[in-house]
Copies of this chain bind each other. A is one copy, B any other.
Amino acid sequence: MKKETRKEQIIQISAKLFKDKGYAAVSMRDIAKELDIKAASLYNHIESKQDILKIIIISLAEEFTKRMTVIYSSNENNISKLHQIVALHVDIAYRNQYEMASLNNNWMHLENGITYYLELRNSYEDNFRAIINNGVQSGELINSNPEVTLFSMLSTLRHLYLWIPKMEEINPKELSDNLSKVLINGILNK
């Protein structure tokens, strides 16, 4: 197990604080206090408070977009792709509970990098939308409003991080299977 660098510690504790109070309400003194150092010392490891936020959000957004592209480009059927999207979100949410909050709620505080973030998010959503539309066209999915289906699935998947801590008795595999059933069987044309 590799030892965690000071920089990694700062990123991690910041993500936790950003989740609890939001980017703007967390001060450099708050972050430093959690690490038992003074705020000025943080600047030996990171460039600025903005720098911390950017690292948290962009690295996670890039992972989502890359893995979505892989799913979209595969040769599976569209129902199978939707199952894989659910599994993707469950996997990332379990390993990045704090970071997910910034992705959802703090991206508007990005100064440099907000355009790039929005490009990543749009690419992700476009692929998701295309899979749903293809599923409707092929008859795999019922012909209801695709935007509503997209919105419903995305809202659930993006906020998994809020509920995972409350569902301690369930493991990632079970959650993924259970969610797939709830989210997808409802839109199957059977």
Nearest chain B CB to A91 CB, angstrom units: 16
A166 within 8 A of B: yes
Stretch at the interface among A34-42, A63-71, A152-160: A152-160
Contact indicator B155/A175 (Cβ below 8 Å): no
| Contact bitstring A164-189, B, C-beta under 8 A = 1, else 0 | 00110010001100110111111100
Contact indicator B167/A147 (Cβ below 8 Å): yes
A55 within 8 A of B: no
Bound-state CA distance A187–B185 (Å) is 8
29 pairs of residues in contact across A and B, judged by CB atoms under 8 Å: A20-B108, A21-B108, A21-B109, A22-B23, A22-B24, A24-B24, A25-B109, A142-B181, A144-B178, A145-B170, A145-B178, A147-B163, A147-B170, A148-B167, A148-B170, A148-B175, A151-B156, A151-B163, A151-B167, A155-B155, A155-B156, A155-B158, A155-B163, A156-B156, A159-B159, A181-B186, A182-B186, A182-B187, A184-B186
Binding site for B on A (CB under 8 A): 20-25, 105-106, 108-109, 142, 144-145, 147-149, 151-152, 155-156, 158-159, 162-163, 166-167, 170, 174-175, 178-179, 181-187
Extra A-B contacts (9), CB below 8 Å, given A22-B109, A155-B155? A21-B24, A22-B24, A144-B182, A145-B174, A147-B166, A148-B167, A148-B170, A155-B162, A183-B186
